[in-house]
Structure 1
Amino acid sequence: MSTIWYECKVKYRKTDETGAQKITTEPYLVDALSYTEAESRITEEMSAYISEEFKITNIKMANYAEIHSFENADRWFKSKVSLLAYDEESGKERKTSMYLLIQANDVKEAFENTTGVMKGTMGDYTIPAISESPIMDVFPYFSGEEGELEQLEKFNALKASKPEIVEVEDHMEFVEEKEEEVTA
């Protein structure tokens, strides 16, 4: 079964570095089966972090195909990956886009992490866009059952792992066209 991610916006009073309080709205990502469960889960998760009153202002379905966390990274980036396929019937190349949420410290690292995640992909792909996401944190679903404890440990190990640096080779070839002299 595919994971459904919901983006939940939470409004609360936050104390900044100077000690002043201001009201802020921040988006969080939660894994749930329905809007109702997403609301329940984000309320439970945020209660552990926010001692004061907070309000859930919006819940919407997020369009992420996969979420990948990495160690020593504090921001989330939205990577657009276009999978390329050749349609034999029409003779055309088709692109199918999907979005990955990748944890990194900057755009360069997000590109390297996306390339590392896509390393095992059989087909051709391109990464046309990477942008910083406003997502503050991600809360995957774990029921606590014995089979899922292994999944929780795997997720936490991923958060604690260091992404391997992948060197990207340039496989593009350019054919130089010879200029023909035009005589008049």
Structure 2
Amino acid sequence: MSAIWYECKVKYRKTDETGGQKVLTEPYLVDAVSYTEAEKRINEEMAAYISEEFKITNIKVANYAEIHPFENADRWFKSKVSLIAYDEESGKERKSNMYMLVQANDVREAYDNTIHVMKNTMGEYSIPAISESPIMDVFPYFSGEEEETEMLERFNALKASKPAKPDAEIVDHMEFETAEEE
């Protein structure tokens, strides 16, 4: 199950080093299954960091195929990766682009981290662009061992919302086996 990332812009008042206050609007990423859940999650996450009032000014689906955090890095970079495939019929090279969010300290490290992430890729690719992202922080749905439990809970919640199976199951085209016959 691939993650859907939502970019949420949060507006709040921040006190600087001199004691003055200024209003900032900063983008954050959250992993969620809907806009409603993204709003709920960003409210929960920001309440832990911002003691004053804040406002969510925008929520949109982010176009990141993958998010890759790295330790000892403090900024996020958007890496454009072009996957290269050859169309045998036309004999032409086709490129499909995807965007990754990679954590690093500078552009060079972002490039190296992107290469590291792509090292097991079977096909050819190129990295035509890397730029610093305005994203302040990323809030994944889960991390590490929690992933399987969380995915199972999400699956069970979806399964519970679907109608139950009928009492009879089709065994063959012409035969039915009901729960009573078992």
TM-score normalised by structure 1 residue count: 0.78
Query: RMSD of the TM alignment (CA)?
Result: 2.0
- 8 A contact 2:6–2:30 mirrored in 1: yes
* Structure 2 residue aligned with 1:22: 22
* Structure 2 residue aligned with 1:140: 140
Which letter does structure 2 place at the counterpart of 1:28? Y
Q: State the aligned residue count.
A: 151
* Structure 2 residue aligned with 1:93: 93
Unpaired runs of at least 5, structure 1: 152-184
* Cα displacement (A) at 1:120: 0.6
CA distance in 2, matches of 1:145, 1:114: 24
* Structure 2 residue aligned with 1:155: none
* Structure 2 residue aligned with 1:154: none
CA distance in 2, matches of 1:144, 1:128: 31
Aligned CA distance change for structure 1 residues 146 and 107 (closer, same or farther; 3 Å): closer
* Structure 1 residue aligned with 2:44: 44
Bigger Rg, which one: 2
CA distance in 2, matches of 1:70, 1:145: 18
SS of match in other structure, 1:64: coil
The 4+ residue runs of structure 1 with deviation greater than 4 A are: 143-147
SS of match in other structure, 1:14: strand
Aligned CA distance change for structure 1 residues 149 and 16 (closer, same or farther; 3 Å): farther
- 8 A contact 2:86–2:93 mirrored in 1: yes
- 8 A contact 2:142–2:150 mirrored in 1: no
* Structure 2 residue aligned with 1:60: 60
TM-score normalised by structure 2 residue count: 0.79
* Cα displacement (A) at 1:148: 3.8
Which letter does structure 2 place at the counterpart of 1:115? I
* Cα displacement (A) at 1:142: 2.6
- 8 A contact 1:142–1:148 mirrored in 2: no
